[in-house]
Amino acid sequence: MEMINIKINDKPVSVPKGYTILDAAREVGIHIPTLCYLKDINEIGACRMCLVEIKGARALQAACVYPVSEGLEIYTNSPQVRAARKATLELILSNHERKCLTCIRNRNCELQNLCEELGIEDIPYDGENIHYELDTSSPSLVRDNNKCVLCRRCIAACKNQTISVIDCIERGFNTHIGSHFEKPINDVSCIYCGQCIVSCPVGALYEKNDIPQVMEAIDNSEKHVVVQTAPAVRAALGEEFGLPIGTPVTGKMVAALRRLGFDKVFDTDTGADLTIMEEGTEFIERFTAQKNLPLITSCSPGWVKFCEHNYPEFLNNLSSCKSPMEMFGAVIKSYYADKAGINKDDIYSVAIMPCTSKKFESSREEMNSSGSRDIDASLTTRELARMIKQAGIDFVNLPDEEFDQPFGEATGAGVIFGTTGGVMEAAIRTVYEILEGKPLDNINVEAVRGLDGVKEATLKIAGKDVKIAVAHGIKNAREVLEKVKAGEKYDFIEIMACPGGCINGGGQPIVDARTKATVDVKALRAKALYTEDERATLRKSHENPNIDLLYKDFFEKPGSHKAHKLLHTHYTDRSNIK
């Protein structure tokens, strides 16, 4: 690696060629404030918070986009730099709705942190402060332009997903973020992945708040309130309570949910095991008949909605299986209701998900095969954290508790659903053993692990080649789909809407840009799930005794008529909405 010799604050340092000044400063432990910067997503130098002084230069320069060169001399804390940063921040604040105490991002706001860092004591300027109506049109997220600081990180995140339904509109004080023709977000092809939310430094974007209706159900003695938790939630919830990124908190999460008043606490991983049985059977049937291949996973509602809008020609390739959340919801309001002797209409079913698009999924008309809405409310990881805090529960010091039976026992295969490649790996573990009649030599399918945007492999199963692909993030999904359209042959494809999969979903704890620049958040959260998989007593979905009992008692066999009625679905061509 070629190194460049520079000086930062009169200290000689050597840094790799290709670094920006911001990279170089971080390399030697010097913090330069940023606001619009988001590593690998938004590096445009727009906010001017990262200004630095360069010896010999006529003006201050934005550190996030200025490349280092041999002999460069940089000053990050000169009087001119401090004055410019403070003035810039004061101007941003002049046009910002400063209702910090009631803001959803209070104490987790990058603008708020900058005010503390730069010693803002007063705001000498008064901007236009144009009032914008909230966009609450979608079932998943809320847009509040009154809090927007025009950093453009949401725009970059949306473009990075190749969705691009939002952009800057108008100029000057009237500049704001909106969709084309100022349509409500529900009327464009937004997939509600929430990557805009986790990219936003302030409270201009957030998930739809469904906590009040859940608490109302818990407080209603006539309601039997059941909750299920997705695998990725346990890998991130602890961050909301000061625990290191990637700390699994399964037992504490279960204990907290009981203390919140839920009647039963179940594990969505059980629903994931059920999904593998149905999806694995579906793949075997399609692969044997060589019909409607490649089979493409349907667990990610953001991906499904993207496909409906942009690639309706692939709808027949989508697995007809509902997501684990929706499968489990249907089971709770049918099989579980019968076994527990509870009228299904008296059951209120809640799902804790890492995903904002799950709110949309639970509202879909197709998701009522049990005779009523399968999932009554889907809460994000962040919403669960707020509920725990509001209830005064000391989360960190809670004892570990176990999920309730009969849906508390899941396999390691169900756990890894939360990371990219996990669904494919879980499916391979089961499909291989069904077709081969013997165990896999290595249950860890390394070919589908890791954070490469697209992973491909050819596996030999029962004497036949099975070509698989795994893509995470819609940009990579497009790449794979275009290859299929160009004639590339695949048998099985896993697609997750969010980069990294569910561990990096739009409903997960928000990590600030400074941390994201130095820590691989996705890798740490994924490691937590793989660790739980390694520790699991059972690691293959078809080995789950509760799933076996469910088929014997209720569904008869995977792919049965009853299974198709309750556990499978269909999709909608939305290509007319752009």
Q: Tokens 């697609």 sit at which residue?
A: 495
Dihedral through CA 12, CA 16, CA 18, CA 22, nearest 10? Answer: -50
Q: Is 409 considered catalytic here?
A: no
Decide: 391 and 260 in contact? Cβ < 8 Å. yes
Catalytic residue among 282, 308, 326, 494: 282
Axis-axis angle for helices 381-390, 211-219 (nearest 10): 50
Residues 65 and 46: their CA atoms lie apart, in Å, by 10
Q: Report whether 542 contacts 433 (CB < 8 A).
A: yes
- How many other C-beta atoms are found inside a 10 Å radius of the C-beta of residue 40? 10
Instruction: Check 252, 358, 359, 455 and give the catalytic one.
Output: 358
Residues sharing a CB contact under 8 Å with residue 474, sequence separation 6 or more, in sequence order: 161, 162, 163, 191, 193, 302, 303, 306, 497
User: For the chain, first and last CA: distance in Å?
Assistant: 45
Nearest in space to 510 (alpha carbons), one of 150, 249, 204, 197:
197
CA atoms of 422 and 237, how far apart (whole Å): 20
Q: Check if 117 is active-site.
A: no
Tell me which amino acid residue 503 is.
Answer: I
Q: How far apart are CA 206 and CA 507, in angstroms?
A: 9
Neighbours of 106 (CB within 10 A): 12
Q: Is-catalytic flag, 151?
A: no
Q: Name residue 265's beta-bridge partners.
A: 227
Quick check: is 460 catalytic? no
Residues 267, 415 contacting (CB under 8 angstroms): no
Beta strands in 291-363 (DSSP E): 295-296, 347-353
279 in catalytic set: yes
d(CA 297, CA 479): 16
Do 106 and 112 contact (CB within 8 A), yes or no?
Answer: yes
Q: Which of 179, 199, 300, 319 is catalytic?
A: 319
* CA angle in degrees (0–180, nearest 5) for 305-152-480: 35
Q: Which residue among 361, 409, 494, 532 is the active-site one? A: 361
Residue 390 host element (H or E):
helix 381-390
Element (H, E) at 110: helix 110-117
Give dist(CA 521, CA 475) in Å, integer. 20
Q: Is 299 a catalytic residue?
A: yes
Catalytic residue among 279, 409, 494, 532: 279
Query: Is 121 among the catalytic positions?
Result: no
Q: Which of 148, 299, 355, 498 is catalytic?
A: 299
DSSP, residue by residue, 216-280: HHHH-TT-EEEEEE-HHHHTTGGGGGTPPTT---HHHHHHHHHHHT-SEEEEHHHHHHHHHHHHH
The residue annotated as part of the active site, out of 43, 366, 401, 488, is: 366
Name the residue with tokens 């000391």: 394
The β-bridge relationship of strands 492-496 and 464-472 is: parallel
Residue 133: name the closest of 75, 185, 173 by CA: 185
List CB contacts of 136: < 8 A, sequence separation 6 or more: 142, 208
Residues recognised as catalytic: 279, 282, 299, 319, 358, 361, 366, 502
